[in-house]
Amino acid sequence: MKASVKICGISSAEDALAALGCGAEFLGLIFEPKSPRAVTPKQAEEIAKAVGGRAKLVGVFVSQTADFIKDAAKKQNLFAVQLHGGQNAEFVKSLGALDAEIWKVVWLENESDLAEAEAFEADRILVDSKSGGSVGGTGKRANWELAARLAKKRKVILAGGISPENVREAVNAVCPCAVDVNSMVEDSPRKKNHLKIKQLFENLKEMENTQMKSNGKFGVYGGQYVAETLMPALQELEREFYRAMGDADFQDEYRGILRDYVGRETPLYFARRLTEHCGGAQIWLKREDLNHTGAHKVNNTIGQALLARRMGKRRLIAETGAGMHGVATATVAALFGMECEVFMGAEDIRRQAQNAARMDMLGAKLTAVEIENGEATLKDAMNEALRDWVATVENTFYVIGTAAGPHPYPTMVKEFQSIIGREAKAQLMEKCGRLPDQVVACVGGGSNAIGLYAPFIDEKGVAIYGAEAAGQGIETGKHSASMQGGSVGVLHGNKTYLLQDEYGQIMDTYSVSAGLDYPGVGPEHAYMKDTGRATYVPINDAQAVHAFRTLCRLEGIIPALESSHAVALAMENAKNLSKDKIIVVSLSGRGDKDMNSVMEYLRK
């Protein structure tokens, strides 16, 4: 759903041009003298001259006479007159044949209000919240449920508390033809915050991009390569996912759990000593390791568990490599009182004994996956989870942790993890007043990476980097770098880059990091590699362990081995950039779980 934007309460040419530059289609000029954002006819003329016909001006009138409105509409060449008072049908008739649209503001509180709004003769209906005597800009949310019903019959403009943070939710919930934004993008009643206006449009653009991918294809990648048995379940999941994205109650509960239970938002931390050590660009760490459960995985498992509950599924299953996704799934199962089974490769259980114990303590059934030849790792766990889902699809919800799998999983995981990038972007703008020069994340399947990248994909001035697990080196064949050393194929329900032999058989993978020990990558990463939007760099075990120890000793932060790959890449990149450049790194998890693996590696 694409919605136009009206920035209302414009009182200066500077704010008008800023809104126009971000993409506003409509600019609202308030002619009501009692409003703190009021403009005089002369000021309106100056604003109109500054925009030069590049935006559609909307005059907002509360107590003015019909003659005043007609005169203003003519002199300012208004695209629309917005009637914000108690004007009735007779008043509209007294305006005569205006060369402007008529927009009528309504306040929806009950069925009677809805019926009156449906019947009012106006080109568009603007749904706002009750102002309690003040004139505009209350910041209070309108009744979205009634507005959505009205939008099915009339052209609706949604106002009332629309902000950069909730605009996507509002558009999904109501499906308006436009949104009207005022007080939530300003520092004071006569001073718009240009960064907030920019963020509003970026969030809308991100939503539109997500919806364009709703068929599950990223170029040639993605899709739904699954057994016929699973297609009804995937179709049901897709429907419920997009409905939930437009459900205000779902979004409120999701955000509330992230805030009160997970502990979001996580800090964006300037690693001063690490920066000085590298001698180049500033390195900022997005501290996902400080989430409840110790990693980014919980952002996604909470969203998927809420979807499972919404769909009436009481049993959760999951695959896990490093164990963090398994722990996060077991955690939400305990929180919501659901049955949980986690599939984990026998080799990963050995490497990640601490997380295996955590899952057991949380009440999950941990199923060890073993194979006859080779070491069972993440791909084998995912194979077993898919087999279980085929057999128990009626009552089971498969909580996929990575940004891979059949559609809608890659899009869904990106949506739930995009809070990483959205927070980091807003935090850096607040701290430094600008965007980063680079964003860096580790990439196995790629959930934390796509979450960080999401709001930066359309920012052409921001370079995107991903660190793949090169293990003992690409040339040795003992690695997990699907994009550096793989080819296109199909695995776990989606087409992407894979580590496979000439016959299409999946090859064994290796990495010191259990969470990156996977032979594929999310389809959007494959697409971003091919289009050149992102650069994926192999980081070997030695580089990752060096970065692990360096961050421990310079910043007092013990990172996950997965995250250490990203830190290693950021350290290399920083050395080649000037000190005024900024790199944001996703520190996707903490490294308590990896101490045994690091000690084993260092003893070799």
Within a domain: 325: yes
Residue 212 pLDDT grade (very low, low, confident, very high; cuts 50, 70, 90) = very low
Structurally, the chain folds into a number of domains equal to 3
Domain-ending residue, one of 411, 433, 462: 411
Residue 262 pLDDT grade (very low, low, confident, very high; cuts 50, 70, 90) = very high
- Are both 284 and 338 inside the same structural domain? no
- Mean pLDDT is lowest, of 127-141, 346-360, 374-388, 446-460, for 127-141
pLDDT at 1 over 60: no
Domain-ending residue, one of 351, 385, 411: 411
Within a domain: 248: no
Within a domain: 176: yes
- Are both 342 and 438 inside the same structural domain? no
Within a domain: 462: yes
- Are both 300 and 157 inside the same structural domain? no
- Are both 287 and 426 inside the same structural domain? yes
As given in the structure block, the two tokens for residue 350 are 């050995």
- Are both 138 and 109 inside the same structural domain? yes
CA dist 485 → 475, 498, 506, 507, 542 (Å): 9, 8, 13, 11, 18
- More confident of the two residues 208 and 419: 419
Q: What is the 3-state secondary structure (H, E, C) of 428-491?
A: HHHHHCCCCCEEEEECCCCHHHHHHHHHHCCCCCCEEEEEEEEECCHHHCCCCCHHHHCEEEEE
Mean pLDDT of 79-101: 87
Question: Cβ distance 183 to 139 under 8 Å?
Answer: yes
Q: How high is the pLDDT of residue 211?
A: 53
* Domain, as residue range, for 590: 268-293+417-603
Within a domain: 255: no
- Are both 55 and 188 inside the same structural domain? yes
- Are both 596 and 465 inside the same structural domain? yes
Q: How high is the pLDDT of residue 266?
A: 98
- pLDDT single digits (tens) 284-338: 999 999 999 999 999 999 999 999 999 999 999 999 987 899 999 999 999 999 9
Q: How high is the pLDDT of residue 168?
A: 86
Give 600's contacts (C-beta < 8 A, 6+ positions apart).
none
Q: Compute the distance between CA of residue 173 and CA of residue 175 in angstroms, rounded to an integer.
A: 6
- Are both 283 and 301 inside the same structural domain? no
- Are both 190 and 323 inside the same structural domain? no
Within a domain: 243: no
Within a domain: 453: yes
Within a domain: 140: yes
Residue 260 pLDDT grade (very low, low, confident, very high; cuts 50, 70, 90) = very high
State the alpha helices, DSSP H only, in 99-247.
111-119, 144-151, 167-174, 194-212, 231-245
CA atoms within a 13 Å half-sphere pointing along the CA-CB vector of 108: 27
- pLDDT single digits (tens) 517-576: 889 999 999 999 999 999 999 999 999 999 999 999 999 999 999 999 999 999 999 999
Question: Cβ distance 367 to 384 under 8 Å?
Answer: yes
- Are both 399 and 523 inside the same structural domain? no
pLDDT at 18 over 70: yes
Report the CATH number that the domain containing residue 406 is assigned in CATH.
Answer: 3.40.50.1100
The partner residues of 192 in beta bridges, in order of sequence, read: 186
- The full length of the chain comes to 604
Q: How high is the pLDDT of residue 47?
A: 93
Report the CATH number that the domain containing residue 60 is assigned in CATH.
Answer: 3.20.20.70
Q: 114 phi and psi, to 5 degrees?
A: -65, -45
Among the listed residues 511, 513, 586, 588, the single catalytic one is: 588
Q: How high is the pLDDT of residue 546?
A: 98
- Are both 443 and 543 inside the same structural domain? yes
Average pLDDT, the chain: 91
Is residue 319 among the annotated active site residues? yes
Q: What is the pTM of this model?
A: 0.73
The partner residues of 488 in beta bridges, in order of sequence, read: 497
Q: Compute the distance between CA of residue 561 and CA of residue 372 in angstroms, rounded to an integer.
A: 28
Is residue 418 among the annotated active site residues? no
- pLDDT single digits (tens) 44-76: 999 999 988 788 999 999 989 999 999 999 998
Domain-ending residue, one of 368, 383, 411: 411
Is residue 297 among the annotated active site residues? yes
State the alpha helices, DSSP H only, in 52-178.
66-75, 89-94, 111-119, 144-151, 167-174
- pLDDT single digits (tens) 400-435: 999 999 999 999 999 999 999 999 999 999 999 999
Q: Compute the distance between CA of residue 584 and CA of residue 420 in angstroms, rounded to an integer.
A: 11
- Are both 69 and 102 inside the same structural domain? yes
Among the listed residues 104, 213, 297, 495, the single catalytic one is: 297
Among the listed residues 319, 384, 468, 562, the single catalytic one is: 319
The end-to-end CA distance of the chain, in Å, is 56
> Which residue shows structure tokens 């305006």?
95
Residue 465 pLDDT grade (very low, low, confident, very high; cuts 50, 70, 90) = very high
Q: How high is the pLDDT of residue 202?
A: 87
Q: Compute the distance between CA of residue 458 and CA of residue 455 in angstroms, rounded to an integer.
A: 7
